[in-house]
């Protein structure tokens, strides 16, 4: 999610679509395939901003964490860390 948002805010030419291959350049490690869906032509996997926009951040992250089997404490720490990381990235860009 953080990688997709960083991609979206970047100057990359495919940034507004957050294509999986482009998002991967903003992420250390693997990206979660469940956050992506095929575009209208089926030619590229794009971050699912519609699903992201339809939920609060906590709801979005908890759905992803439940898939991984994380407990409530881990989920809370991951939400806090994601918010912190996103804030740090924004400050660096300014």
pTM: 0.55
Q: Which helix (H) or strand (E) holds 1?
A: none
Q: What is the rounded CA–CA span in Å between residue 49 and residue 4? A: 9
For residue 93, what pLDDT band results from cuts at 50, 70 and 90? low
* Host domain of residue 30: 2-93
The count of structural domains within the chain is: 1
Are 44 and 17 in contact by the 8 Å Cβ rule? The answer is: yes
Q: Which helix (H) or strand (E) holds 37?
A: strand 36-38
pLDDT tens digits, 29-48: 888 888 888 877 777 888 88
pLDDT at 94: 54
Are 15 and 8 in contact by the 8 Å Cβ rule? The answer is: yes
- Across 13-17, 24-28, 52-56, 67-71, least confident range: 67-71
pLDDT tens digits, 43-89: 788 888 888 888 887 887 775 444 444 444 444 456 667 777 777 76
């Amino acid at each position: 999610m953080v990688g997709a948002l960083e991609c979206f805010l970047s100057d990359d030419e495919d940034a507004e679509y957050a294509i999986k291959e482009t998002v991967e350049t903003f992420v250390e490690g693997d990206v979660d395939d469940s956050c992506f869906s095929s575009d209208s032509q089926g030619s590229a996997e794009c971050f699912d901003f519609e699903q992201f926009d339809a939920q609060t951040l906590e709801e979005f992250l908890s759905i992803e964490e439940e898939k991984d089997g994380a407990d409530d404490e881990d989920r809370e720490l991951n939400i806090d860390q994601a918010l912190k990381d996103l804030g740090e990235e924004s400050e660096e860009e300014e």
